[in-house]
Structure 1
Amino acid sequence: MTTNDRTSTSAVQKVGVLTLAGLVVGSMVGGGVFTLPKEFGAATGVLGAVVAWTIAGTGMLMLAFVFQSLAIRRPDLDAGIYSYAQAGFGNYLGFNSAWGYWASNVAGNVFFMVLTLATLGEFFPGLGDGDTVLAVAIASVGVWVFHALIARGVRQATVVNRVVTAAKLVPILVFIVIVAVAFDPATFADNMLGEQGGGSSSLFEQVTDTMLITTFVFLGIEGASVYSRLAAHRRDVGRATVLGLLSVLAIFVAVTMVSYGVLPRADLADARQPSMGAVLESVVGPWGATFISIGVMISVQGAYLAWTLLNAEILYTPARSAVMPRFLARTNRHETPIAALLVTNIAVQALLLLVLVIDDALDFMLKLDTALTLVPYLLTAGFALKLTITRETYGPGDERERRRQQLVAVLAVVYSCFLLYSAGVEYLLLACIVYAPGTLLYVVARRERSRRVFTRAEALCCVVLIGAAVAGVALVAAGTIDL
């Protein structure tokens, strides 16, 4: 790190564990929680939901423990996902971790904007499902309003995020309480099995069908890790990650389970998104849907803010080394990574225009977002496992702790692989189409610093990635993969 880098970092005001936890909660509690009743109702019953949340909760807790451990054992790595992948597996995989994570956030931000306008579309028909010209125009204005807010300083934006996070939790908690009071044990029992009494879909298939949505709603678990450089105390990073995860897990499970107690599965599966509104409306009448719609708009815009903050960081930090081009390391007088922020919002704007030609923009962006994030999660878990195998950072007296953390890392790796399996070949190939062009930025970054571009292993990885991307493009062109 150069002298200027040290000065810039020290000039940024440090934040505590509650602010970091707020970033984690703010990132995870976005639009996904409001879609849970329909998503789970369409995929499985109560039994499958219990199994799915057990797997997802355990897997994500293992990932949270991984981030907690790495924050303590490698405090020199202060950029979360990107830095762990680079330290563990080299510059090219580190770049792809940063690029894929960034691209996933761009897709996620488009999802948030479309969901906001789709929610408003119930009151203003001209907005449709968030995919009309008017809706895209309004969403575009929102993108640049957030850009102006964040450009005034990361610290100021994190304060706003804490306020928004608190505000958006209110309608969710009100929903849980009201629906829990109206809970009908008979309806809950009727929803116990996945196929209205045990049809053709196996429990394994039902659980697999829920994995993308459970992963999507948990995206953001690494929020505190990405902001390691802003933490007042290093230990706060791990504490904030675990605290944030346990808080949102309780919320997600509660939303899912109480919904099974008021509506049959068929009605949940057919509900209009945001489906929490349909569930609450069935209990209290039309005002319930309006109440949830307001909550959606607050929640989704808060999540948009949190993810934009994360995305600027994930381009800015690797640009300070030889992984991203230098121009992305530029900051303004507020110490905001302005170049990275601008590139992020230009990408969001461009992807917003694609909404006009994609059949189901919400579903597409949700699944693409999730698929792009799985590889960075896997590389992070793999790095934690690598440390336990090589015994790096572990002394002679740390054997018991090393074995415990090795088990955690193995479980995190297995869970990440299961998520890749659940995503399916279609979305993995679409992810490769996004990953492959990013290699051009990596080549530029390495050459402008006169460094070797690829090792032999990295060159092989690049060839495989480009081959998968070409196959994906061919399948899209042939109509085998439907956008």
Structure 2
Amino acid sequence: MPAEATAPPEQGRDPHARRFGLPIATCLVMGNIIGGGIFLLPASVAPFGTISLVAFAVLTLGAVALALVFGRLAHRHPQTGGPYVYARAAFGDFAGFLAAWSYWITSWVSNAALAVASVGYLCVLFPAIGAHKWSMCLAALAMQWLPALANLAGTRYVGAVQLVATVLKFAPLMLVAVGGLFFFDPANLGPFQATGQSPAGALSASAAILLFSYLGVESAAVSAGEVRDPARNVGRATILGTAGAAVVYLLGTLSVFGLVAHEKLVTSEAPFTDAVNAMFGGTWGGTLVACAAVISMAGALNGWTLLSAQTPYAAAKDGLFPRAFETKRRGVPVVGVVVTTSLASALTVYNYTAGSEGVFEILVLVTTFTATVPYLLSTAAQIYFLLSGRGERVHRGRLARDGALAVLAFGFSMWLVAGSGYAAVYQGVLFLFAGVAVYAVMAARRHRTAA
């Protein structure tokens, strides 16, 4: 069984590499969660009716449970890698690899989805971008590579960009979330259930789309090695970031539903822009929201680019990913940043080439499945630690509470798999199984090296 690792020592005197304190770690969590999903998803779930608000509330409970579980796991394993570290510590190398592989897929596919989502708001600011699919594709690629350059400059700049972007994104969100309640019109809400599905089916289907909004609860845990006093601050940042994002999400989505007529919201490409225009009239408010949305998504891409490199870095150190992913400069795994951004770019080009209609929803569903694998393994690891009776990992006074949270988080992840749909599970499983061959190669290489 892999030994429990400790947090790495402070990085050297490189002025470009700086570890994150609690405020930056909280911004990393909140910034990655809020990202771009909140700006587009009200329109994506509007076809289901207001029952999607119920799904959002249920998802929030599941996300909070996951946040609490990750906080406890990070307290026991305060080093870079997050789900990979927990799964490997509990179940061995293969489980750890599956967690790392799935999380890596989730991160770069999510980056492609975020970049695609940002194009809708870029078109509001610069209408010429929307004139052709290739101009939209180039805009999406620029949204991926600019944050990648910030990452390559060092963790100091990653933290600065994350802080600024998180602050800026709150202006339009709070404008709509709080100010929109004063303009709320119940007549705009539309039907409670707008599809022919059963209530349970509609809840699961809308939840599968909405999960993308809560991806990122584990952000501080994945980057624990870059956080000061991770055993203490990672858990706090995870809970604070998730709770703050949940408040903004629920109020913001409710306000958009009440500000924009249902039939218009279903076809909207920029629902928050439409919401502000409905509040104040004209287009100036919507333009401001579009600008803030682009900044918000750039900030999320900044954080997710870091996470996409951290997990393969941790796995590479244990010989489970190619050794090149160990390369680290200025506190950032540079090879991981370049490789994952290149893969996200290739996926973006492919989807625009194949036809951009529905790209965002398709990518969201794929990441819905791949995200559940590290979540399932992490929550299962927590259950294992609690039930194994290993004294160094179990606080007996918290056994019942932590056990209930772990079971709830595990059940929540299983429900998300069911709600992903056959197509998403099929595509996600193909991505997952492709990793088995990679593991076979890496395991054989480790065996030869050890011999």
TM-score by length of 1: 0.84
Aligned mate of 1:24, from 8, 16, 29: 29
Is the CA contact 2:385–2:393 (under 8 Å) kept in the aligned structure 1? no
Note the C-alpha offset of 1:160.
Answer: 1.6
Aligned mate of 2:272, from 273, 276, 280: 276
Note the C-alpha offset of 1:339.
Answer: 1.4
Tell me the equivalent position of 1:479. Answer: none
User: For 1:174-253, what aligned pairs fall within 5 Å after superposition?
Assistant: 174-184=175-185, 186-187=186-187, 191=190, 193-195=192-194, 200-233=196-229, 234-253=231-250
2:380 is the counterpart of 1:382: yes
Note the C-alpha offset of 1:236.
Answer: 0.7
Paired residue type of 1:194: Q
Is the CA contact 1:325–1:442 (under 8 Å) kept in the aligned structure 2? no
Structure 1: 5+ residue stretches without partners: 454-483
- Which whole-Å deviations, capped at 9, do the CAs of 1:205-229 have from their partners, x for residues lacking one? 2211221232100011001101111
Tell me the equivalent position of 2:252. Answer: 255
- Which whole-Å deviations, capped at 9, do the CAs of 1:82-101 have from their partners, x for residues lacking one? 11122222212211211111
Match of 2:259, SS state, is: coil
Is the CA contact 2:313–2:326 (under 8 Å) kept in the aligned structure 1? yes
Paired residue type of 2:169: K
Tell me the equivalent position of 1:438. Answer: 435
| Distance in 1 of aligned mates of 2:378 and 2:449 | 24
Note the C-alpha offset of 1:244.
Answer: 0.4
| Distance in 1 of aligned mates of 2:179 and 2:401 | 41
User: For 1:343-422, what aligned pairs fall within 5 Å after superposition?
Assistant: 343-359=339-355, 360-393=358-391, 398-422=395-419
Note the C-alpha offset of 1:395.
Answer: 8.0
Aligned mate of 2:42, from 37, 58, 82: 37
Is the CA contact 1:183–1:261 (under 8 Å) kept in the aligned structure 2? yes
Which segment drifts farther, 426-435 or 256-265?
Answer: 256-265
The structure-2 alpha-carbon separation of the partners of 1:192 and 1:355, relative to structure 1 and needing over 3 Å to count, comes to: closer
Query: Between the two proteins, what is the percent identity of the paired residues?
Result: 26
Aligned mate of 1:101, from 100, 103, 113: 103
Note the C-alpha offset of 1:373.
Answer: 0.7
TM-score by length of 2: 0.90
Paired residue type of 1:273: E
Tell me the equivalent position of 1:481. Answer: none
Count of residues in Structure 1 that have an aligned counterpart in Structure 2: 438
Paired residue type of 1:296: A
| Distance in 1 of aligned mates of 2:9 and 2:250 | 44
Match of 1:128, SS state, is: helix
Tell me the equivalent position of 1:116. Answer: 118
2:423 is the counterpart of 1:426: yes
Is the CA contact 2:80–2:311 (under 8 Å) kept in the aligned structure 1? no
Is the CA contact 2:147–2:298 (under 8 Å) kept in the aligned structure 1? no
Note the C-alpha offset of 1:142.
Answer: 4.2
Match of 1:355, SS state, is: helix
| Distance in 1 of aligned mates of 2:226 and 2:108 | 23
Tell me the equivalent position of 2:64. Answer: 61
Is the CA contact 2:224–2:234 (under 8 Å) kept in the aligned structure 1? yes
Is the CA contact 1:388–1:403 (under 8 Å) kept in the aligned structure 2? no
| Distance in 1 of aligned mates of 2:359 and 2:45 | 19
| Distance in 1 of aligned mates of 2:290 and 2:393 | 53
Tell me the equivalent position of 1:51. Answer: 54
| Distance in 1 of aligned mates of 2:406 and 2:364 | 27
Paired residue type of 1:218: Y
Note the C-alpha offset of 1:9.
Answer: 5.0
| Distance in 1 of aligned mates of 2:8 and 2:385 | 28
- Which whole-Å deviations, capped at 9, do the CAs of 1:376-406 have from their partners, x for residues lacking one? 111111111111111224689x433112111
| Distance in 2 of aligned mates of 1:428 and 1:384 | 25
Paired residue type of 2:366: L
| Distance in 2 of aligned mates of 1:353 and 1:50 | 33
- Which whole-Å deviations, capped at 9, do the CAs of 1:403-449 have from their partners, x for residues lacking one? 21111111111111100000122211100121222333323322332
The structure-2 alpha-carbon separation of the partners of 1:69 and 1:294, relative to structure 1 and needing over 3 Å to count, comes to: same
Is the CA contact 2:305–2:337 (under 8 Å) kept in the aligned structure 1? yes
- Which whole-Å deviations, capped at 9, do the CAs of 1:67-93 have from their partners, x for residues lacking one? 111122334x54211111222222122
Is the CA contact 1:187–1:260 (under 8 Å) kept in the aligned structure 2? no
The structure-2 alpha-carbon separation of the partners of 1:291 and 1:426, relative to structure 1 and needing over 3 Å to count, comes to: same
| Distance in 2 of aligned mates of 1:78 and 1:105 | 15
| Distance in 1 of aligned mates of 2:155 and 2:260 | 43
| Distance in 2 of aligned mates of 1:295 and 1:171 | 7
| Distance in 2 of aligned mates of 1:406 and 1:86 | 20
Match of 2:331, SS state, is: coil
RMSD between aligned alpha carbons?
2.5
The structure-2 alpha-carbon separation of the partners of 1:139 and 1:426, relative to structure 1 and needing over 3 Å to count, comes to: closer
Tell me the equivalent position of 1:450. Answer: 447
Paired residue type of 1:193: F
Paired residue type of 2:326: A
Is the CA contact 1:32–1:213 (under 8 Å) kept in the aligned structure 2? no
